[in-house]
Structure 1
Amino acid sequence: MKSLKTHMNRKHLLIASFSLLLSGLLGTSAASSPIPLATAEARIRQRQDQLRLISPAAYDLTRYPIADQNERHWRQLLWATAVIEPQDAYVRTAIAQILTLTPQKLTPAQSRTVEMALQIATQLYLSNPTPDLQQPFIQTIAQSSNSRWVAMSLSALSKGGATVIQQQQWIDQIAQRFPKWSENVSLYTTIKELTTAAQTPPIRDLLTWTIVPNQQQLYVFCQRDRSELCTAFLRDRTGRFVKNNGQPWSMPLLTRSLHNLSWNFSRGYTPQGIYRIEGTIPQPDTDYFRAYGFYSLVQLFAPLEPGVKEFIPGRRGTLTGKLDGYKTLLPPSWREYFPIQASYWAGLFGRSEFRIHGSGEDPKFFTNNQRYPQSEGWNPAIGCLSALELYDSTGRVQFAQMPDLLSRLGAKPTGYLIVVESANTPDAIAAQINAL
């Protein structure tokens, strides 16, 4: 295992070094020009700014009740909680108290605060599943009329180590409280995922399938554990896989959610399935550098996401035909495989703004990165696919993968992205590609 990890790290560094050469071809100057927000001093200040927000007084609900006028306070504080991931009792107690509001009638501002608290509660609970946060999730399932919050609570409890019997008891309770649960996207997808054991169809069928003729297809193969790096392979418009030194070109990406939320919730990990690749979003921008890095972002659209020009070339707008229309984009052996439908359901649910991007954040900025040494250097996202982008103490880029990807996709990229969870290793998938 140690030798394999060493090999993978060397491979990633070689890819990143090559991408630095490509950055010159793309007309960027990041390799030679320091970026002020990426210096060691700036990164220390950024982390300290979040740490300063964490104090018992800040979480005092008598001083800062969940009211419209305190929304900004709680959004800033909850984001700092996600970044720092403090395990202090006063933090967990305050968040648990906020979750007791899930059964109540709330204003839009209050609802936004409670929803973010649910996201952060999931993150804290999955890092340390203790009764103080478990009970509010159980209460939400039993009492809240908000189906999305009920589904989020069920998902958190299930991922936090609940037994199959406990899961089924909660599912039965939800079915009684929400007789039309199967018509509700949040409840349906959560329960379906927990109760469906489907075997992954043949990967070869996916590799040889053409979604739409004359369109490039970027495959991203992931493990079920999204803390593991995914691997991208590219098939060009002629149907041939792009090679590098005689082997399939590949690139590691991370699709882990900072909050460890499931794919069917806002800010959850990247859903499996098909996305339309449609252009790029230019960078850099000082306001967004830390979140998205120095290079352009690849723009992706879920099947039912508004804003796409042509999900199917020659047909304006989003995908038509509902779920049956989506299934026709897949090879026959994959059409009834529920996990690959995730991007369809996510778009229907309202998830949007999926991107492939780098990261200007210091990997040490997010405390929970320490728990995932297998993806060291890569930063989590809240739905997007994250590429490696590292800077030295002076703010100069050392490693960046986005230039390589951007050059291979083309100046105005179009095509499709396919995200798939598979137990196959990257080497095994590469071998299948070589055998085609």
Structure 2
Amino acid sequence: MRNLFPIAAFMVGGFMQLCLQPMQPVSAQASISQPVNIPAIKPYQPKATAANRLTYQQDQLQNLVPENFDVNRYPISDRNAERWQNILWTVTVLSPQTDFVAQALDNILALTANPKLTDKQKSVVDSAMQVGTQLYLSNPGFYANVGRHFVQTIEYSSDSQWVAMSLSALAKSRIPPSNLKQLGLRVQQRFPNWRQDVFLYTTLQNLSSSQTAKAIPPLTDLLAWQIAPGQPQMYVLCQPNREILCLAVAKDGNGRFMEQNGQLWSVPLLLQSIHRLEWNFYRGQTPQGIYRIEGLEPQPDDEVFRAYGQFPLVKLFLPYEDGAQEFLPNRKGKFTGNLQTYQTLLPPTWRNYFPIQQSYWAGKIGRSLFRIHGTGEAIDFFRVKTNPTIDSYYWNPTLGCLSALELYDRNGQLQQADVPKVLNILSLLGKGKIAGYLIVVEVPSRTGGQISPMEVREAIARSK
């Protein structure tokens, strides 16, 4: 893959109303008797103190000066590629509304039509496309030139990834449907073999799905389904608006959903890309679909504390991703096969529902390294978060991973963390082994907010 991540890469990712009947007892549930495998918690984390965080924020702000964005002083060349990657990460963090940033993006995005770029130059354009999407969607008026470059990219670029990303960003900006339809047709005209290009195919499928909304299959079928008998499953239920927190629930290998203290076991997670990219691009939001849960990645050291927090990371594998010991039940090694093979892992009513195939296509694209992790970064570090009243404000966005709450006070003392809850339940279900399946699915809540445990319990009861 040509996508060369800068230093921040370690952060790496229809409709149906739920049952409205009164709450029913859920007979097939298992109770958690006691926590297991609680990871050691550092009582004090120096990088989480207010003073240390202020210093780090100031370091980022010092990068945000006009001379750093001068393409005449720092041409988009192999020599300056890493420098531009780091500068564009500062833009990602601070999400500025400044003329010199807009001008730099204008100059970089103009290169999408250049067929003679080196791999390092392409990596800078990749980052500019990602950051450009983030800024354009946050303020399409101020960053209107970014939108115009997206249109020009569709018209003239030979790079299918940039063309697909441009079309996707314009679709999310809510341009008139007639204009969007024309742009989609133009892409198909310029790329007659678009069905064989995974970026173009998935983007055009996304557009088709959004324009002709197809009812989501019965959630009860998905909740009752066992991918592999005897293996645990975790469901992460999201809303189409990924600014709203998702809800994770878990069941054991016998299909019994877990309870704790008489309540359905659950943990809120954020599955939003900081760039607001769609799921079918590097650094995009977490795809819907099936993941293999397999093992933990120890928190390496304090150098990456800001990205991961202090707890071990749960490793998730996509189809085709190297490293999985047994993606398909009773078949050693990573996923092998095709879409039909993937579909057999789903209940029959879900097999032809395109959104639940996202993890399959993301694996085909080459996305990888998905994790469930906390975050040691301050909640106000990413300026892309502008609404402190929304519940997800306390969770930090990622580059595709599933983000769990992890909060520290100004003295670096841990106040709250949900990663240990996830580690405990997976260890309990696996009898000390971390292995099973995770399914991400978007199911709008009847209240319009986060999916509630009560709604999930009602759906579980209906699935019996």
TM over 0.5: yes
* TM-score, structure 2 as length reference: 0.87
User: Partner of 1:433 in structure 2?
Assistant: 460
Deviations 1:212-246 (A, max 9, x none): 11110000000000010000010111210001222
User: Partner of 2:111 in structure 1?
Assistant: 101
Question: Structure 1: which 5+ residue stretches go unaligned?
Answer: 1-20
1:133 to 143, 146, 152: 146
Is structure 2 residue 176 aligned with structure 1 residue 163? yes
2:399 to 382, 386, 395: 382
**Distance in 1, Cα, partners of 2:308 & 2:192:** 42
CA drift of 1:370 comes to: 2.2
2:277 to 244, 256, 261: 261
**Distance in 1, Cα, partners of 2:221 & 2:262:** 23
**Distance in 1, Cα, partners of 2:361 & 2:316:** 15
What is the RMSD of the two structures over their aligned residues, measured on CA atoms? 1.4
**Distance in 2, Cα, partners of 1:325 & 1:344:** 10
User: Partner of 2:78 in structure 1?
Assistant: 68
Please state whether the residue corresponding to 2:395 is helix, strand or coil: coil
CA drift of 1:22 comes to: 5.9
CA drift of 1:108 comes to: 0.6
User: Partner of 2:265 in structure 1?
Assistant: 249
Deviations 1:128-158 (A, max 9, x none): 0132211111110001000000000001111
User: Partner of 2:344 in structure 1?
Assistant: 328
Question: Structure 2: which 5+ residue stretches go unaligned?
Answer: 1-33, 446-450
8 Å Cα contact 2:106/2:149 also seen in 1: yes
Letter in 1 for 2:356: I
The alpha-carbon distance between structure 1 residues 54 and 188, as it changes in their structure 2 partners (threshold 3 A), is same
1:89 to 96, 99, 106: 99
Greater shift, 302-311 or 265-274, is seen at 302-311
Is structure 2 residue 324 aligned with structure 1 residue 308? yes
Greater shift, 275-284 or 353-362, is seen at 275-284
8 Å Cα contact 1:38/1:394 also seen in 2: yes
8 Å Cα contact 2:41/2:310 also seen in 1: no
**Distance in 1, Cα, partners of 2:385 & 2:44:** 25
Please state whether the residue corresponding to 1:376 is helix, strand or coil: helix
Please state whether the residue corresponding to 2:68 is helix, strand or coil: coil
Higher RCO (C-alpha 8 Å, min separation 6): 2
Letter in 2 for 1:340: I
User: Partner of 1:6 in structure 2?
Assistant: none
**Distance in 2, Cα, partners of 1:96 & 1:324:** 43
Letter in 2 for 1:184: D
**Distance in 2, Cα, partners of 1:432 & 1:338:** 22
Q: How does 1:370-409 map to 2 (within 5 A)?
A: 370-371=386-387, 373-409=390-426
User: Partner of 1:3 in structure 2?
Assistant: none
Greater shift, 304-313 or 159-168, is seen at 304-313
Please state whether the residue corresponding to 1:420 is helix, strand or coil: strand
User: Partner of 1:225 in structure 2?
Assistant: 241
The alpha-carbon distance between structure 1 residues 284 and 40, as it changes in their structure 2 partners (threshold 3 A), is farther
User: Partner of 1:296 in structure 2?
Assistant: 312
Please state whether the residue corresponding to 2:372 is helix, strand or coil: strand
User: Partner of 1:360 in structure 2?
Assistant: 376
User: Partner of 2:132 in structure 1?
Assistant: 121
8 Å Cα contact 1:255/1:269 also seen in 2: yes
Letter in 2 for 1:247: Q
Is structure 2 residue 161 aligned with structure 1 residue 183? no
**Distance in 2, Cα, partners of 1:166 & 1:245:** 54
Deviations 1:388-416 (A, max 9, x none): 00001111110000111101100431000
User: Partner of 2:205 in structure 1?
Assistant: 192
**Distance in 2, Cα, partners of 1:412 & 1:122:** 40
**Distance in 2, Cα, partners of 1:27 & 1:260:** 32
Runs of 4+ more than 4 Å apart: none
Please state whether the residue corresponding to 1:100 is helix, strand or coil: helix
Paired residues in the alignment total: 413
CA drift of 1:27 comes to: 4.5
8 Å Cα contact 2:387/2:393 also seen in 1: no
User: Partner of 1:5 in structure 2?
Assistant: none
Please state whether the residue corresponding to 1:69 is helix, strand or coil: coil
Is structure 2 residue 231 aligned with structure 1 residue 204? no
Please state whether the residue corresponding to 1:368 is helix, strand or coil: coil
Greater shift, 124-133 or 265-274, is seen at 124-133
CA drift of 1:177 comes to: 0.6
Higher helix share: 1
**Distance in 1, Cα, partners of 2:41 & 2:257:** 30
8 Å Cα contact 1:254/1:386 also seen in 2: yes
Letter in 2 for 1:428: E
8 Å Cα contact 1:280/1:412 also seen in 2: no
**Distance in 2, Cα, partners of 1:430 & 1:252:** 15
1:350 to 366, 378, 387: 366
**Distance in 2, Cα, partners of 1:49 & 1:217:** 42
